[in-house]
Structure 1
Amino acid sequence: MAVFYIDYLWLTPRYFVTGHRTQFFVTNTFIVIVLGIALHLWMSLSHDMLGHNHREPPLILTIAFVIRDIVNLVIAAAIATLLHLALQWQTAEEARKEAELSNLRSQINPHFLLNTLNNIYALTAINTQKAQEAIQDLSKMLRHILYDYQRSEIELRDEVEFLKNYIRLMKLRQGPSVEVNTSFHITNEQQKVAPMIFISLVENAFKHGVKPAVPCTINITIQANDRQIVCDIVNSNHPKTSTDRSGHGVGLELVRRRLELAYKGRYEWTHGVNDNQKMYHSTITIKL
């Protein structure tokens, strides 16, 4: 116990972690040798104190006993050092993960705002009143970003309301040829979810699923219970041409990275076009 806690609380953080490996090994060697010899001396002394008939073993056997004790102490020191390093690595990994998530969130904000402002700009040329309504919806979404988005998790009902505002904004500028269907079935609205996980998928549906003067369909479904959250989006497939490089797929790549960081090993994401290349299907399933 002495060797374990000396290593765990003092030697490892003070010398090994800071790079002073020579001091670490020299001090450890000194401690285990001294305590290894002290254990043998204490054993002999305790036998004498208790009045046991104790005869000193041969020198070679004494050395073997001391080496045995030193090996045990070395094992205790090694376990203490490895445990300290493992816990330190876990703490550092959690800090790195949170920093990367924060960085990803800061990247999504301008990406999302840029797309939304472009939509409102286009809407001003079509219908001024609808553009004003769109600005009002945008203010609600900005409030969500400013006050909720900085947290690692928010209530699912707030995230769904955010998506509804965005979808309503997008529908304002769509013509009669675009059919948008939404379905939200949430059994536990207080269920937590990472913010703005699904918005890029919805953006992608409107971006690649709508073509002027062509019948288009966008179906957005979110189902959630105490076991899982499923976001399912099906849209007409009208991929952008090589000359239209707006976005460059940044949003979807950010979603993939955020899913990996926030729900590693607990999510499935399938996406792609159907056999006739007419519909694009994207589904995210998050296990709770």
Structure 2
Amino acid sequence: RFVVSDSSKDFVPLQQDLDYIKNYIELQKLRLTNKESVIFEVEGNSADLRISPLILINFIENAFKYGVIDEASEPVIISIKVEQQTLFLNVENTISKEVTPETEKSEIGLKNTKKRLDYFYTNHYKLTIHNDLSKFIVELKIFLND
């Protein structure tokens, strides 16, 4: 329902977006035999804050799509922290060696997410992506001012 009805809005309550992310991660965990292979943490107070929907989830989906999954020694780490009006997202995953040509990343989702960030948060965000042969790390900082 969130994707269909609320994703077309410019902004939604941050807590609503965080609930969607939590539900997505819980759904992904159902596929896993090793529940410790995903570390998900949320800190801070999201009350009264709003965010453009479906920006954060794209980075998280990519971790599950392209990352090593179900390995406790190489967990997917997702951390969201809210301090006053600033949101920090950190997603880290080991890159799977099993990416086939059909699932090779087109980076369309990443490009579209960057465009949305530029549109809704011009000069109010910082996105850093570290991508080497083994790790993919996303660090996003957004100033959420309504």
Compute the TM-score of the two structures, normalised by the length of structure 2: 0.85
Q: Give the Cα separation in 2 of the matches to 1:237 and 1:281.
A: 10
Q: 1:217 aligns with which of 64, 75, 92?
A: 75
Pair 1:264–1:196, CA change in 2 (3 A)? same
Output one character per residue of 1:181-221: Cα deviation in whole Å (capped at 9) or x when no partner. Answer: 11111323220100011111001111121257795310111
Contact 1:191 1:226 in 2 (8 A): no
Q: 2:113 aligns with which of 222, 239, 255?
A: 255
What amino acid sits opposite 1:243 in the alignment? Answer: P
Pair 1:211–1:155, CA change in 2 (3 A)? closer
| 1:169 alignment counterpart | 27
| 1:75 alignment counterpart | none
Pair 1:178–1:251, CA change in 2 (3 A)? farther
| 1:182 alignment counterpart | 40
Aligned residues: 144
Q: 2:54 aligns with which of 179, 196, 205?
A: 196
Once the two structures are TM-superposed, the CA of residue 287 in structure 1 deviates from its matched residue by 1.8
Q: Percent identity?
A: 24
Question: Aligned ranges for residues 1-288 of structure 1 at < 5 Å?
Answer: 143-176=1-34, 179-210=37-68, 215-238=73-96, 241=99, 243-245=101-103, 248-273=106-131, 277-288=133-144
Q: Which runs of 5 or more structure 2 residues have no equivalent in the other structure?
A: none
Contact 1:235 1:279 in 2 (8 A): yes
Pair 1:239–1:254, CA change in 2 (3 A)? farther
Pair 1:214–1:186, CA change in 2 (3 A)? closer
Compute the TM-score of the two structures, normalised by the length of structure 1: 0.46
Higher relative contact order (CA 8 A, sep 6+): 2
Q: RMSD of the alignment, in Å?
A: 2.3
| 1:101 alignment counterpart | none
Normalized per residue, the structure richer in strand is: 2
Larger Rg: 1
- 3-state DSSP class of the match of 1:216? coil
Q: Which runs of 5 or more structure 1 residues have no equivalent in the other structure?
A: 1-142
Q: Give the Cα separation in 1 of the matches to 2:97 and 2:60.
A: 15
